[in-house]
Amino acid sequence: MRESWRWFGPNDPVTINDIRQTGATDIVSALHDVPIGEVWTVEAIAQHKALIESCEPDQSPLRWTVVESIPVHESIKLGTSEASQYTRNWIQSMENLARFDIRTICYNFMPVIDWTRTDLNHRLPSGAYALRFDQQKFAAFDLFILQRAGAEDDYSIEEREAARQAFEAMSEEDRQVLTRNIIAGLPGRMTDSYSIDDFRQALAQYQAVDASVLRENLLGFLAEVVPVAERLNVKLAIHPDDPPRDMFGLPRIICTADDVAQLFELQPSRSNGITLCVGTYGSRPDNDLPAMAHRFGERIHFAHLRGVLRDRDEQRSFVEASHLDSDIDMVEVIRALLHEERRRTRSGDSDNPIYIRPDHGHLMLDDIGKAVNPGYSSIGRLKGLAEIRGVVRALSHS
Catalytic residues, which ones? 239, 277, 304, 359-360, 376
Q: Does 190 bind ligand DNO (CB under 6 A)?
A: yes
CB of residue 278 to ligand DNO, shortest distance in Å: 11
108, containing H or E segment: strand 104-108
Residues 288/293/298/299 CA torsion (nearest 10 deg): 70
CA-CA distance, 284 to 271, in Å (whole number)?
27
Tell whether residue 108 is a contact of ligand DNO (CB under 6 A): yes
CB of 110 to ligand DNO, least distance (A): 7
Based on CB atoms, which residue is closest to ligand DNO, 185 or 290?
Answer: 185
> What secondary structure letter does DSSP report for 27?
E
- Cα separation of the two ends of the chain: 16
Min dist. Cβ of residue 375 to ligand DNO (A): 6
Does 239 engage in binding with ligand DNO (CB under 6 A)? yes
d(C-alpha 157, C-alpha 224), whole Å:
45
Identity of the residue, 114 or 134, whose beta carbon is nearer to ligand DNO in the bound complex: 114
How far is the C-alpha of 184 from the C-alpha of 209, rounded, in Å? 23
Q: Which stretch binds ligand DNO (CB under 6 A): 15-23, 105-113, 346-354, 389-397?
A: 105-113
Using CB under 6 A, pick the residue from 12, 68, 320, 367 that binds ligand DNO: 68
Per rule CB under 6 A, is residue 264 in the interface with ligand DNO? no
By CB under 6 A, how many residues form the interface with ligand DNO?
15
The answer to the question of residue 107 lying near ligand DNO (CB under 6 A) is yes
- CA dist 189 and 200 (Å) reads 18
Each residue 353-392 as x (binds ligand DNO by CB under 6 A) or -, in order, gives -------x--------------x-----------------
Rounded CA-CA distance 232/395 in Å is 33
Strands of the sheet with 318-321, listed across from one edge: 119-123, 129-133, 318-321, 307-310
* Euclidean distance between CA atoms 279 and 276, whole angstroms: 9
Contact 389, 3 (CB under 8 A): yes
- Output the smallest distance, CB 240 to ligand DNO, in A: 9
Is residue 307 helix, strand or coil?
A: strand
Closest distance of CB 189 from ligand DNO, Å: 6
Min CB(232)–ligand DNO separation in Å? 20
Stretch binding ligand DNO (CB under 6 A), from 169-177, 182-190, 249-257, 321-329: 182-190
**Using CB under 6 A, which of 1, 45, 76, 106 touches ligand DNO?**
106
Binding mask 195-234 for ligand DNO (x = CB under 6 A): ----------------------------------------
CA-wise closest residue to 280 among 163, 51, 108: 108
Those residues whose C-beta lies under 8 Å from the C-beta of residue 15, and which sit 6 or more positions away, are none
Q: Does 188 bind ligand DNO (CB under 6 A)?
A: yes
Q: Taking contact as CB under 6 A, which single stretch among the options 46-54, 74-82, 106-114, 319-327 is the one that binds ligand DNO?
A: 106-114
- Which region, left, alpha or beta, applies to residue 66 given φ > 0 means left and ψ of -120 to 50 means alpha? beta
Q: Cβ(29)–Cβ(67) under 8 Å? A: yes
Quick one: 143 or 358, whose CB is closer to ligand DNO? 358
Closest CA to 8 of 69, 98, 62: 69
Are the beta carbons of 319 and 125 closer than 8 angstroms?
no
- Complete DSSP assignment for 218-265: HHHHHHHHHHHHHHHTPEEEEEPPSSSS-BTTB-----SHHHHHHHHH
Q: How far is the CB of 293 from ligand DNO (least distance, A)?
A: 17
Q: Does 115 bind ligand DNO (CB under 6 A)?
A: yes
Q: Which member of 4, 69, 287, 326 binds ligand DNO (CB under 6 A)?
A: 69
Contacts (CB under 6 A) with ligand DNO, residues 286-345: 304
One symbol per residue from 16 to 55: x for binding ligand DNO (CB under 6 A), - otherwise; what is it? ----------------------------------------
Number of H helices, E strands in the chain: 14, 12
Instruction: Output the smallest distance, CB 384 to ligand DNO, in A.
Output: 13
Per CB under 6 A, residues contacting ligand DNO are: 68-69, 106-108, 114-115, 188-190, 239, 277, 304, 360, 375
